Every structure is written in structure tokens, then in C-alpha cells.
Amino acid sequence: MLNVFSKSKPWMVASLLAATTVFGQSDDKSSRQRACETKPVKCEPVKCCEPVPPVQLMPAYNQCSRIEVRGSWDIFAGASFTYWQARQENMDLGMSILGTSTTVPSAAGSTTENKVINHNFKYKPGFKILAGVNFDHDCWDAYAEYTWFNSKTHTSALSPTPTAPFTSGSLATDSASFESASVAGTTFDNMDQSWKVKMQSLDTALARAYYVGTKLTFRSIYGARFAWFSQSKTQILNRTGTNGVNTGSTTGTETRKQSFTTWGAGPMAGLDTNWEFGEGFRMIGNTSFDLLYTRVQTSNRKATFVSAAGVTTITSYRNDRPDFLMPHANMELGFGWGSYFDCNNWHVDMLATYGFQVFWNANQFRQFNASSNAFVNSSQPSGNLYVHGLTATLRVDF
């Protein structure tokens, strides 16, 4: 028995030493772990601290919603056909004096009836051109859009009766139109007015499209607008004397011409919204606003009177006008449809909207006429320019 114990004693000692080493390592690891839990600042996180699990929350920014095509150049382009009507305040031809009437009671026993002859505004075609590029940085894109619109309209009016002549311009206390009383007689038998307006603008901006809901997307726009305007107005007023209106006045034809050109530049901001219906269809609501620092480059005016005695130049000069700020607002409502093609290598988008625009104080024709025929610029609001109509757009992303 002793011999067996003696023979196995070395193995028992070796096993005891191995177990002591294992428990020592285990105790040492446990102590380090306890030190990490109690004093995490003194420990190395990679070796002894557990990683922090991610917080289960939605991202803090709105998810991108722009059009993305496969293998794209990140470029988009578009063209629009516009059919707009331009309307401007204080563009009346004149006033028809209908005489007195005893059917309308008044303190004096009779009332003078007048009728303002308004300008006839019509719809005219135009176009837009769009080009842009998508950026990798946070779903932003940049674009430039050029707009061209010209409108020329014409209105004629004939004196209704021999006792109902025309007087030029608006109400006598307003003098909003191109007044002239420097030849004998201030009334006319018939009047004719042509108005031409040219509008050009260039928008350059950065934009980002993003989801606000599962079926609603916004596109915020920030940039600048550059605009050019040119307007001209021609009035032809005839004094024939054939209807007895101007028998005591000099007969002939008076031609009045006015024109001005302006340019403007300023900041622009806008918001495009899309309500998704499904199958690529959506409803559109877009708004934008810009404030243009505007300068009047030229402002010309000339009036001539042609009669049997010859040609008389009544007034001919250029006006210096101060710079001013012209706000501009735009709103569009409509519908659109878009779809991917060729395994998502192309995207085609079509939309039709009806828009409303207003340019504050765009009418620079207004002047005041003193009794001495001295014309001065008006410091009062000259009249707003309103533009509204249909816009049909085709856009391609590739």
C-alpha cells in the first residue's frame, strides 16, 4: 500500500500545482472584471468593457426622396411649355364721358356717368428650360432654370355717341396713364392701345427632396433669381370731328409712346410638395418667394400730334428713376406622373400645373402731369403685374 502511494505521489503533486494555477488565473480574471465594473475609467474598454447597444430610434433627419437611377450620371433636364396671361394694374385706356342722367338721383338733380375703358389682356405662349445635377452630399442637388415669356395685346375703343367723347388716361385726380393736354381739345373720337411685355428670368438654387410622411414629400429650395423686364405701350388717339365731339378742337391723330427696361437680382426660397397617390401619380403644390433689387435702365416717352398743319412733337425725353425693391411670389397647383424605365436606368416625369404670380410695383409707366405739362415720376405704388396660366413640363433623369 505504501509502495502504491509512493509511486503515485509525484502525480498527485503535479495535479495539485496545475489546479492551483488555473484557480489563480480565474481569480485574477475575476478581480480585473470587478475592477472594470467598479472603476471603468482605469480599464481598457477593448479588453474588459462590454459594447453599448445601439439606441432603437428613428434617424434624426428626413429620409431622402429624390429620384435615383441605376448607373446614373446624376443629371436631370427638363422643358416646359407655358400658356400664361399677363395682367397689369393702371393700364386703362381712358374714360368715356356718357354725359348726365336724371335717372340717378343726387343732390344736384343729375349725375355724370362715366365708363372706364380697360385693356384687353390675353393668354400667350412661352417656355422654360431646366438643367441640374445630383450631389452625393446629404441628398442635395443643384439646378438652373431659364424662363422666357413675351406678351403683346391690343385694345380699341370707339366713342359710342356724338355726345360721349373719350378722355385719355385714368381719373383726372389720378393721372395714372400717359396724359397729354398740350394741344387744343382734350377729348377724342376713338382710342387704340398696344401693350408689350417681355419677361426673362434665371433661377439658380440648391435643393433637397425628403420624406415628411410615407406618402408626402417636401423639396426645400434656396438660391437666387435674376430677372429682366421690358415694357412698351403705344396709344393712338384720333380727333376727327366727324361726330361733332371735337368740332371746336384741332382734328388729327395723337400718338403716345412709352417704354422702359429693368433688371433685378435677389435671394429666392421655395418649397415643392408632392402627395403620392400610387402607381406614379401625385398631386403637386409648389410655392416660392424672391425679393429683387431692381434698377430701371431706360425710361423713354414721346408724344406727337399729326394734323393738317403738320407734325408737332409734344413731349420727348428720358426719365431717371430710382432703384427699388420688387417682391415676387409664385404658387402652383397641379398633378404629375413619373416612372422608371429600362431597368431603372431612366426616369421620366410629366406634370401639369396652373400657377399664379405677382410682381409688386412692376408698372413704371405711371407719371403725374401738372397744369404746365411738366411730368414728374410718381412716388406712389405704380401697379402690380400679375401672371397666371398653365405650365406643362417633361423632365428626364439619367
219-278: pLDDT as tens digits: 999 999 999 999 999 988 877 654 444 444 567 888 888 899 999 999 999 999 999 999
All three cell numbers of 351 = 406634370
Mean pLDDT of the 108-135 span: 84
All three cell numbers of 365 = 409707366
Of 57-66, 171-180, 244-253, minimum mean pLDDT range: 171-180
Residues 361, 384 contacting (CB under 8 angstroms): yes
The answer to pTM > 0.85 is: no
DSSP 23-84: HHHHHHHHHHHHHHHH-GGGS-HHHHPPPPPPP----SSPPB-S---TT--SEEEEEEEEEE
pLDDT bracket for residue 174 (50, 70, 90): very low
pLDDT of residue 302: 81
- Residue 394 phi, psi (nearest 5): -125, 125
* Separation of alpha carbons 369 and 378, rounded Å: 10
pLDDT bracket for residue 287 (50, 70, 90): very high
Q: Please report, for the chain, the start and end positions of each structural domain, with discontinuous segments joined by +.
A: 15-52, 75-397
H or E element that contains 18: helix 2-38
Residues 211, 291 contacting (CB under 8 angstroms): no
Of 111-115, 143-147, 311-315, minimum mean pLDDT range: 111-115
pLDDT of residue 308: 74
Tell me the pLDDT tens digit for each residue of 139-157.
999 999 999 999 999 998 8
pLDDT of residue 267: 98
All three cell numbers of 319 = 426719365
Using DSSP's 3-state secondary structure scheme, residue 180 falls into coil
In sequence order, which residues have a C-beta less than 8 Å from that of residue 203 and are 6 or more positions away? Answer: 143, 144, 145, 147, 223, 224, 225, 268
Of 25-34, 212-221, 379-388, minimum mean pLDDT range: 25-34
* Separation of alpha carbons 203 and 44, rounded Å: 56
Q: Cell 394694374 sits at which residue?
A: 89
Mean pLDDT of the 290-305 span: 88
Mean pLDDT of the 288-309 span: 86
Mean pLDDT of the 113-139 span: 90
pLDDT bracket for residue 209 (50, 70, 90): very high
DSSP bridge pairs for 211: 217
* Separation of alpha carbons 261 and 276, rounded Å: 43
Q: Cell 422608371 sits at which residue?
A: 340
- Please name the amino acid found at residue 137: H
Burial class (CB in 10 A: 0-12, 13-18, 19+), 219: middle
Residues 271, 286 contacting (CB under 8 angstroms): yes
pLDDT of residue 185: 41
Mean pLDDT of the 335-358 span: 95
Instruction: Flag whether pLDDT at 92 surpasses 90.
Output: no
Mean pLDDT of the 314-334 span: 84
What value does the mean pLDDT of the chain take?
77
pLDDT of residue 156: 87
Instruction: Flag whether pLDDT at 323 surpasses 80.
Output: yes
CATH number of 75-397: 2.40.128
pLDDT of residue 178: 33
pLDDT of residue 352: 98
- Please name the amino acid found at residue 161: T
Sheet of 94-101: strand order equals 111-117, 94-101, 166-168, 187-188
b or e along 301-335 (b: 16 or more beta carbons within 10 Å of the residue's beta carbon)? Answer: bbbbbeeeeeeeebbeeebebeebebebebbbebe
